[in-house]
Amino acid sequence: MPEPPDGTESSVLVDLGPRRYTVRVVTGSRGFGAFARESLAATWAGRACRSALVVTDANLADHPAAAGTLDALRNVQIEPRLAVLDPGEATKSLPSASRLYDELVAMRADRHAAVVAVGGGVIGDLAGFAAATYARGVPLLMVPTTLLAQVDSSVGGKVGINHPRAKNIIGAFHQPSGVWVDTATLDTLPDRELRCGLAEVVKYGVILDAAFFEGLEERVGEILARDPAAIRWIVARCCELKADVVTRDEREETGLRAVLNFGHTVGHAVEAVAGYGGAYQHGEAVAAGMVAECRIAERIGWIGPGLTDRLIGLLARIGLPTRINGCDPATLLEAMGRDKKNEAGAVRFVLPRELGRVELTGLPSRDDVVAALEPLCR
Backbone angles phi, psi at 358, to 5 degrees: -130, 165
Contacts of 171 (CB under 8 A, 6+ apart): 125, 129, 158, 159, 160, 161
Active-site residue 252, yes or no?
Answer: yes
> Across residues 161-190, what is the average pLDDT?
93
Q: Are residues 148 and 243 in the same domain?
A: no
Active-site residue 200, yes or no?
Answer: yes
Q: Please count the structural domains in the chain.
A: 2
Active-site residue 174, yes or no?
Answer: no
Residue with the larger pLDDT of the pair 255 and 158: 158
**CB contact burial 177-206 (16+ within 10 A = b; e otherwise):** bbbbbbbebbeebeeebbbbbbbbbbbbbb
Query: What pLDDT is stored for residue 341 in this prediction?
Result: 66
Query: What pLDDT is stored for residue 85 in this prediction?
Result: 98
Query: What pLDDT is stored for residue 1 in this prediction?
Result: 40
The answer on whether 146 is annotated among ligand-binding residues is yes
Q: Are residues 238 and 264 in the same domain?
A: yes
Active-site residue 136, yes or no?
Answer: yes
Looking at the predicted structure, is the pLDDT value of residue 2 above 60?
no
Are the C-beta atoms of 315 and 309 separated by less than 8 Å?
A: no
Q: Determine, yes or no, domain membership for 2.
A: no
The answer on whether 124 is annotated among ligand-binding residues is yes
Q: Determine, yes or no, domain membership for 346.
A: yes
Query: What pLDDT is stored for residue 328 in this prediction?
Result: 87
Q: Are residues 146 and 205 in the same domain?
A: no
> How many C-beta atoms surround the C-beta of residue 62 within 10 A?
10
Q: Are residues 304 and 318 in the same domain?
A: yes
Are the C-beta atoms of 206 and 290 separated by less than 8 Å?
A: yes
Instruction: Tell me the per-residue pLDDT of 96-111, one tens digit each, with 9 for 90 and over.
Output: 999 999 999 999 999 9
Residue ending a domain, among 141, 158, 188, is 188
Kindly indicate the confidence band of residue 176, based on its pLDDT and cuts at 50, 70 and 90. very high
What is the average pLDDT value for the chain, to the nearest integer?
A: 93
Catalytic choice (158, 195, 203, 295) = 158
Question: Per-residue DSSP letters for 126-152?
Answer: HHHHHHHHGGG---EEEEE-SHHIIII
Kindly indicate the confidence band of residue 89, based on its pLDDT and cuts at 50, 70 and 90. confident
> Across residues 190-202, what is the average pLDDT?
96
Q: Are residues 319 and 338 in the same domain?
A: yes
Q: Are residues 38 and 165 in the same domain?
A: yes
What's the CATH number where 309 sits?
1.20.1090.10
Q: Are residues 50 and 172 in the same domain?
A: yes
Looking at the predicted structure, is the pLDDT value of residue 3 above 90?
no
Q: Are residues 363 and 247 in the same domain?
A: yes
Q: Determine, yes or no, domain membership for 1.
A: no
Q: Determine, yes or no, domain membership for 3.
A: no
The answer on whether 145 is annotated among ligand-binding residues is yes
Looking at the predicted structure, is the pLDDT value of residue 339 above 70?
no
Give the whole-angstrom CA distance, residue 28 versus residue 8. Answer: 9
The answer on whether 220 is annotated among ligand-binding residues is no
Residue ending a domain, among 136, 168, 188, is 188
CA-to-CA dists, residue 73 to 24, 66, 114, angstroms: 17, 11, 11
Residue ending a domain, among 128, 156, 188, is 188
Catalytic choice (24, 195, 282, 295) = 282
> Across residues 190-206, what is the average pLDDT?
97
Give the whole-angstrom CA distance, residue 115 versus residue 112. Answer: 10
Give the whole-angstrom CA distance, residue 317 versus residue 103. Answer: 44
> Across residues 289-317, what is the average pLDDT?
97
Active-site residue 158, yes or no?
Answer: yes
Q: Are residues 15 and 161 in the same domain?
A: yes
Segment (H or E) for 13: strand 10-14
The answer on whether 200 is annotated among ligand-binding residues is yes
> Across residues 287-316, what is the average pLDDT?
97
Active-site residue 242, yes or no?
Answer: yes
Instruction: Tell me the per-residue pLDDT of 228-239, one tens digit each, with 9 for 90 and over.
Output: 999 999 999 999
Residue ranges making up the domain that contains 342: 191-377
pTM: 0.90
Catalytic choice (252, 334, 338, 340) = 252
Query: What pLDDT is stored for residue 344 in this prediction?
Result: 56
Active-site residue 268, yes or no?
Answer: yes
Looking at the predicted structure, is the pLDDT value of residue 6 above 70?
no
Query: What pLDDT is stored for residue 4 in this prediction?
Result: 45
236: three-class secondary structure by DSSP: helix
Q: Are residues 138 and 282 in the same domain?
A: no
Q: Are residues 210 and 355 in the same domain?
A: yes
Q: Are residues 147 and 104 in the same domain?
A: yes
> Across residues 330-341, what is the average pLDDT?
82
The answer on whether 71 is annotated among ligand-binding residues is no
Give the whole-angstrom CA distance, residue 94 versus residue 80. Answer: 23
Catalytic choice (24, 112, 232, 268) = 268
Catalytic choice (200, 284, 293, 298) = 200
> Across residues 13-39, what is the average pLDDT?
96
Catalytic choice (59, 162, 168, 261) = 261
Looking at the predicted structure, is the pLDDT value of residue 38 above 60?
yes
**CB contact burial 160-172 (16+ within 10 A = b; e otherwise):** bbbeeebbbbbbe
Query: What pLDDT is stored for residue 9 in this prediction?
Result: 83
- Name the percent of the chain lying above pLDDT 90: 81
Q: Determine, yes or no, domain membership for 4.
A: no
What's the CATH number where 72 sits?
3.40.50.1970
Kindly indicate the confidence band of residue 165, based on its pLDDT and cuts at 50, 70 and 90. confident
